[in-house]
Chain A
């Protein structure tokens, strides 16, 4: 997880934060319990040493994980596990077993958190093995001259290692999945917005390119300038989030063709008699505009035909020119990528066929 703004990295940082807070509680417990432990332990130095080691390993993990943003199955975690084993040995074995049932029993809390930390970082099976190991160490150390009737309590405490490690594993696994979904959704949304922006900017880009040419034919320049006025208005609409609201595609195409008076354009759209949704109408019109802009810029055509028809089942629109054509679609051909994806959003298809020196046909098609 590298993107610090993602939900996934947020989940990991949450896990780190919980780890650090819990370790701070461990620290508080150790400080409070230490006088009693030192007083009762048969080996005070060993008990003190074990506590010290646990604080060191916990501190190192906290520092490393908070810097990089996630808990990992690395040497720091391995050291943490070993420190917990050491604490269970030295901390439990050297104190009277009666202490196991009081708050002085700090190694238990320390090693339980270690089991959780392992649970959120390694696989299911590794989690089980480590949790069972810690449980075994705990039981071995705790099961000495127990007070009568306390076996059940000790066993339950032991099983808590498995339970806590599993809960940590499952809970964080679910949170990671949800985070991945959230991130994927956000990324898709971002791509879509980018795509829309590209689509809206492609037309103005072509216009700007044309207008910046010194050798532009005056007739083309006039048509392009008329187009630029409309493009500016539409860009304004896009920027302020106003959706176009028209469903009469044939009329839209007729109006659009007026902007290409510099092209030898024949308009055959009388066979189109379908009302599409405003969004689809807009997408088709923009697709046709892009196609016509491509003709204007690249084709050098002597005839361009805009044709449209519909029946009960579906509609189709074609832009055909007898210009230069192309053998393979050049990279960055705005038409192919932008038009195709824009129409695919509505289940409409785009086919582009071209042959050098014969011409290009763009076919847009959808069902009703």
Chain B
């Protein structure tokens, strides 16, 4: 069995080293970089990229000495090269929905156990959306409160069951569809839709640095 080949992009060296060490037996880290620009300077073939959302820590610089691209711009840029799995310290933030809209195929919290990261990597490797449970919970509430009617019933249900922690196969059983891929489609559409409708809200609500969400990165 060949393990998924992963590129890690994170502005913290210890994190990159830690991920490489702890993914043994789950994935092969074929390259790691401090920013997207560094990867673009030396692109390698891989199955997916594990991408940090905020690459703008004060002393982090691109190879040319510039400030690294972040947020949806980083996501959109990387999506052109590799499937993107976002690893973030803010899993319950609307920004992440915008990132999915910008093309990311998965979101996983940095506080999740390594086993969960392994699940996320395998899902994205298969081409399936991996939606962090906390983000699903946030989106589920957001859809109910701010955007009633934006999601179809099946989409809303899929999001709710994901927020309860169920797997795609379990959700398929709950909402009565044959193929887990259908659930994947529901979740992806729901997240993208909410992501596109929540850009301003995300910017307003987020306590994160500005510039993470950029409307031009979204379809």
What residues make up the interface of A, taking CB atoms closer than 8 Å to B? 264, 266-268, 270-271, 302-305, 307, 309, 318, 320-322, 358, 361
Contacts and interface: CB of A to CB of B under 8 A. Distances in A.
A279 B27 CA distance: 49
Nearest to B134: A266
B215 interface: no
B133 A268 contact: yes
Contacts of B112: 264, 303
B144 interface: yes
B76 interface: no
A309 B140 CA distance: 10
B82 interface: no
Contacts, number: 56
B144 A305 contact: no
Given A305-B163, A307-B165, A309-B160, A268 B134 contact: yes
B185 to A, nearest CB: 22
A271 B113 contact: no
Contacts of A321: 165
Nearest to B164: A307
Q: Which of B141, B144, B164 has the most CB of A within 10 A?
A: B164
B163 A268 contact: yes
B116 interface: yes
Contact of A358 (B134, B140, B170): B170
B115 interface: yes
A318 B171 CA distance: 14
Interface in B157-193: 160, 163-167, 170
B138 interface: yes
The 8 A-B residue pairs with the shortest CB-CB distance in the complex, in nearest-first order? A268-B137, A305-B165, A302-B115, A320-B165, A307-B164, A266-B133, A271-B141, A270-B141
B138 A305 contact: no
Interface in B108-137: 112-113, 115-116, 133-134, 136-137
Contacts of A270: 137-138, 141
B31 to A, nearest CB: 27
Given A268-B163, A271-B137, A321-B165, 17 more contacts: A264-B113, A266-B133, A268-B137, A268-B138, A270-B138, A271-B163, A303-B113, A303-B165, A307-B164, A309-B140, A309-B141, A309-B160, A320-B164, A320-B165, A320-B166, A322-B167, A361-B164
Interface residues of B, number: 19
Contacts of A303: 112-113, 115-116, 133, 165
By secondary structure, the A interface counts as strand
B164 A271 contact: no
Given A271-B144, A302-B115, A322 B165 contact: yes
A255 B31 CA distance: 41
A223 to B, nearest CB: 16
A268 B170 CA distance: 18
Interface string B14-43: 000000000000000000000000000000
Nearest to B132: A266
Given A270-B141, A271-B140, A305-B133, A264 B116 contact: yes
A304 to B, nearest CB: 7
A287 to B, nearest CB: 16
A305 B141 contact: no
A266 B141 contact: no
Contact of B163 (A302, A307, A322, A361): A307
A321 to B, nearest CB: 8
A258 to B, nearest CB: 15
A307 B133 CA distance: 10
8 contacts: A268-B163, A305-B163, A307-B165, A309-B160, A320-B165, A321-B165, A322-B167, A358-B170
A251 B139 CA distance: 20
Contacts of A271: 137, 140-141, 144, 163
Contacts of B137: 266, 268, 270-271, 307
A10 to B, nearest CB: 54
A264 B141 CA distance: 22
A320 B170 CA distance: 11
A288 to B, nearest CB: 13
Interface string B97-115: 0000000000000001101
A261 B166 CA distance: 21
A241 B115 CA distance: 45
Q: Which of A268, A271, A304 has the most CB of B within 10 A?
A: A268
Nearest to A305: B165
B110 to A, nearest CB: 13
A358 B169 CA distance: 10
A82 B144 CA distance: 85
Contacts of A264: 112-113, 116
